[in-house]
Structure 1
Amino acid sequence: MTSQKQIKLSHGELEFSAVEQGEGPVVLLLHGFPDTLNTWSEQLEVLATAGYRTVAVATRGYESSSQPADGDFSSEALAGDVIAWIEQLSGGPVHLVGHDWGASIAYSVAMAAPERLLSLTTMSVPHAGRFLAEIPQFPKQMRLSWYILFFQVPGVAEYVIRRKDFAFLKWLWRTWSPGWAFSEQDFEQVAEAFRCPEVVESALGYYRGAVGLDSLPWRKSYDSQKPWPIDVPTLGLTGKNEGCIAADVFSAMMREDDFPRGLKVVQVPDAGHFPHRERPEFVNALILDWLGEHDIS
Structure 2
Amino acid sequence: MECKIAKGSIEANGLKFGYLEAGSDGGPLALCLHGFPDSAYTWRHLLPALAAAGYRAVAPFARGYAPTSVPADGVYQSGALVADAVALHEGLGGDRDAVLIGHDWGTAAAYGASAIAPERWRRVVTLAGPPLAATGDAFQRYDQLKRWFYLFLFQTPLAELVLDRLFIEGLWRDWSPDGADIAADVSYAAESLAAPENAAAAIEYYRALFDPSLHSERYAREQEAVAATGERPVLYLHGTEDGALGADIIAPAGDLNRVMAALPPGSHADLIAGAGHFPHLDRPGEVNRKILDWVSG
Instruction: Name the TM-score, length of structure 2 as normaliser.
Output: 0.86
Structure 1 pair 230–167 and aligned structure 2 pair: CA distance change class (3 A): same
- CA RMSD, aligned part only? 2.3
Q: 1:135 to 1:186 in 2, by over 3 A?
A: closer
Q: 1:18-167 alignment to 2 at 5 Å?
A: 18-23=19-24, 24-63=27-66, 65-93=68-96, 94-128=98-132, 130-131=134-135, 134-154=137-157, 156-162=158-164, 166-167=165-166
Secondary structure at 1:66 match in 2: coil
Is contact 1:31–1:102 with CA below 8 Å preserved after alignment?
Answer: yes
1:221 alignment counterpart: none
1: CA distance, partners of 2:263 / 2:177:
31
Q: Distance in 2 between matches of 1:263 and 1:136?
A: 26
Q: CA deviation at 1:254?
A: 4.7
How many residue pairs were aligned? Answer: 278
CA deviations on 1:240-286 (whole Å, 9 max, x unpaired) are 11111011323368543433332211110111111000100000000
1:215-294 equivalences under 5 Å are 228-251=228-251, 254-293=258-297
**Residue type of the alignment partner of 1:200:** A
Deviation at 1:73, TM superposition (A): 0.5
User: Match of 1:9, SS?
Assistant: strand
Give the 3-state SS of the residue equivalent to 2:191 in structure 1.
helix
Deviation at 1:9, TM superposition (A): 2.1
Query: Do 2:133 and 2:262's aligned partners in 1 also have CA atoms closer than 8 Å?
Result: no
Q: How does 1:187-226 map to 2 (within 5 A)?
A: 187-212=186-211
Secondary structure of the structure 1 residue equivalent to 2:238: strand
Q: Is the 8 A contact 2:112 2:227 kept in 1?
A: no
**CA separation in 2, counterparts of 1:34 and 1:253?**
29
Structure-1 residue corresponding to 2:221 = none
1 CA distance for matches of 2:282 and 2:208?
29
Counterpart Cα distance in 1 of 2:33 and 2:173: 21
2:276 and 2:145 map into 1 onto residues whose CA distance is 18
- Scaled by the length of structure 1, what TM-score is found? 0.86
**SS state at 1:245 partner:** coil
Distance apart, 1:104 and its partner CA: 1.9
Summarize deviations over 1:221-241 as a string: whole Å, max 9, x none: xxxxx9731221001111111
CA contact (8 A) 2:172 2:182 kept: no
- Measured in 1, the distance between the counterparts of 2:168 and 2:33 equals 19
What's the offset of the Cα at 1:187? 1.8
Unpaired runs of 5+ in structure 1? 216-225
Is 1:169 aligned to 2:173, yes or no?
A: no
SS in 2 for 1:237: strand
Cα distance change, pair 47–254 in 1 and its aligned pair in 2 (3 A)? farther
Indicate the SS of the match to 1:189. Answer: helix
1:108-134 residue CA offsets vs partner (Å, 9 max, x unmatched): 212221221111111111114554x75
Describe the superposition over 1:78-116 as per-residue Cα deviations: whole angstroms up to 9, x where unpaired.
111110010112243211111111112211212221221
The answer on whether the counterparts of 2:176 and 2:276 sit within 8 Å (CA) in structure 1 is yes
Amino acid at match of 1:242: D
In the alignment, is the contact (CA less than 8 A) between 1:60 and 1:66 conserved in 2?
A: yes
Equivalent residue number for residue 13 of structure 1:
14
How far does the alpha carbon of each residue in 1:155-204 deviate from its partner, in whole angstroms, 9 at most, with x for none? x0111113xxx211101100011324225333212211111241110001
- Per the alignment, residue 181 of structure 2 pairs with 182
Separation of aligned partners in 2, 1:183 and 1:82: 27
Deviations 1:40-59 (A, max 9, x none): 11111111111111111101
> Given that residues 120 and 233 in structure 1 are in contact (C-alpha distance below 8 angstroms), is that contact kept between their aligned partners in structure 2?
yes
**More off after superposition, 182-191 vs 238-247:** 182-191
- 2-structure distance, mates of 1:129, 1:89: 32
Letter in 2 for 1:264: H
Contact map agreement 1:256 1:262 (CA 8 A) in 2 = no
State the 1:30 CA deviation. Answer: 0.6
Give 1:140 shift.
3.0
